[in-house]
Amino acid sequence: MNSPHAYSPEQIDAVYRAISERRDVRHFRPDPVDEAVLQRLLQAAHAAPSVGLMQPWRFIRIRNPDLRRQLHAEIERERQRTAEALGQRSDEFMQLKVQGVLDCAEVCVVTLMNERERHVFGRRTMPEMDLASASCAVQNLWLAARAEGIGVGWVSIYEPAAVSELLQLPEGARAIAILCIGHVDAFYDKPMLELEGWAERGKLDDYVMVDSWQPEKAERAQQQWRDAQQRQQQGADKNGSQESGRE
pLDDT digits (tens, 9 = 90+) for 138-154: 999 999 999 999 999 99
Kindly state the helix (H) or strand (E) to which residue 180 belongs, with its residue range: strand 174-182
Round the average pLDDT of the chain to a whole number and report it. Answer: 88
pLDDT in tens, 63-78: 999 999 999 999 999 9
Q: Are residues 49 and 99 in the same domain?
A: yes
pLDDT bin (cut points 50, 70, 90) of residue 156 is very high
**Phi and psi at residue 59, to the nearest 5°:** -110, 120
Q: The domain containing residue 36 runs over which residues?
A: 20-190
The CATH code of the domain that includes 123 is: 3.40.109.10
Q: Are residues 183 and 73 in the same domain?
A: yes
pLDDT bin (cut points 50, 70, 90) of residue 240 is very low
Sign, Cα dihedral of 75, 80, 83, 85:
negative
pLDDT bin (cut points 50, 70, 90) of residue 127 is confident
pLDDT at 59 exceeding the cut of 60: yes
Residue 9 lies in a domain: no
pLDDT on residue 221: 86
pLDDT on residue 192: 84
Q: Are residues 80 and 185 in the same domain?
A: yes
- For the ranges 13-17, 57-61, 81-85, 223-227, the lowest mean pLDDT is seen at 81-85
**Among residues of the chain, what percentage have pLDDT more than 70?**
87
**Phi and psi at residue 11, to the nearest 5°:** -70, -40
Q: Are residues 74 and 166 in the same domain?
A: yes
Calculate the alpha carbon distances from 48 to 44, 132, 141 in Å: 7, 11, 9
pLDDT on residue 198: 74
Q: Higher confidence at residue 82 or residue 158? A: 158
Kindly state the helix (H) or strand (E) to which residue 146 belongs, with its residue range: helix 129-148
Contacts 24+ apart (CB under 8 A), 165-169: 166/67, 166/70, 166/71, 166/74, 167/60, 167/109, 167/111, 169/111, 169/114
Q: Are residues 115 and 162 in the same domain?
A: yes
pLDDT on residue 24: 95
Q: Are residues 183 and 227 in the same domain?
A: no
Sign, Cα dihedral of 131, 136, 138, 139:
positive
Task: Kindly state the DSSP code that residue 32 receives in the 8-state scheme.
Answer: P
Q: Are residues 183 and 203 in the same domain?
A: no
pLDDT in tens, 184-230: 999 999 988 888 777 888 899 999 999 999 999 999 988 877 877 67
Averaged pLDDT for residues 128-146? 97
Domain endpoint, select from 190, 211, 237: 190
Q: Which amino acid is at 93?
A: F
Number of folded domains that form the chain = 2
pLDDT bin (cut points 50, 70, 90) of residue 243 is very low
